[in-house]
C-alpha cells in the first residue's frame, strides 16, 4: 500500500492541473466538476466522485430544461450510478 502512495499523489497532481480548464462561469459544468473533485477524497472513492458528477450534470441539465442535450449513454450511466447509490440504503431498509 505504501508503494502506491507516491503514484496516487502524482495522479492527483496531474488531475488538478486540468481544473484551470473548467468553465467556472457555467454552473451546469462547474457544479458537477466541483462535486466530482470534492466527493472523491471525502468518501475515499473515485467511483462515488464520478457518480456524483454524472448525477449532478444530468439533474442540472434536466432542471434547466435542456434534457434533450443529454446523450442517451449519459442517461444510462446516470441511471446506473443512481442504482449504485441506492443499493446500500435499500439493503438497509429491507434488512438484507
Q: Give the C-alpha separation, 35 to 51, whole Å.
A: 9
Domain around 40: 5-94
Of 53, 27, 29, the residue nearest 40 (C-alpha): 53
Domain count of the chain?
1
Q: pLDDT tens for the chain, 96 residues: list them.
A: 577 778 878 888 888 899 999 999 999 999 999 999 999 989 989 899 999 999 999 999 999 999 999 999 999 999 999 999 999 999 999 988
- Cite the DSSP H helix spans in the chain: 5-16, 27-43, 46-63, 72-94
- pLDDT at 26 (0 to 100): 94
Residue 28 contacts residue 64 (beta carbons within 8 Å): yes
- pLDDT at 1 (0 to 100): 59
User: What's the start-to-end Cα distance of the chain, in Å?
Assistant: 32
Q: Give the C-alpha separation, 91 to 96, whole Å.
A: 5
Amino acid at each position: 500500500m505504501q508503494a502506491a502512495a507516491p503514484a496516487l499523489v502524482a495522479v492527483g497532481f496531474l488531475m488538478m492541473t486540468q481544473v484551470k480548464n473548467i468553465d467556472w462561469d457555467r454552473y451546469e459544468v462547474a457544479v458537477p466538476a466541483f462535486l466530482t473533485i470534492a466527493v472523491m477524497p471525502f468518501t475515499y472513492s473515485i467511483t462515488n466522485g464520478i457518480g456524483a458528477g454524472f448525477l449532478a450534470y444530468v439533474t442540472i441539465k434536466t432542471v434547466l430544461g435542456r434534457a434533450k442535450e443529454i446523450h442517451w449513454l449519459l442517461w444510462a450511466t446516470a441511471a446506473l450510478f443512481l442504482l449504485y447509490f441506492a443499493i446500500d440504503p435499500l439493503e438497509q431498509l429491507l434488512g438484507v
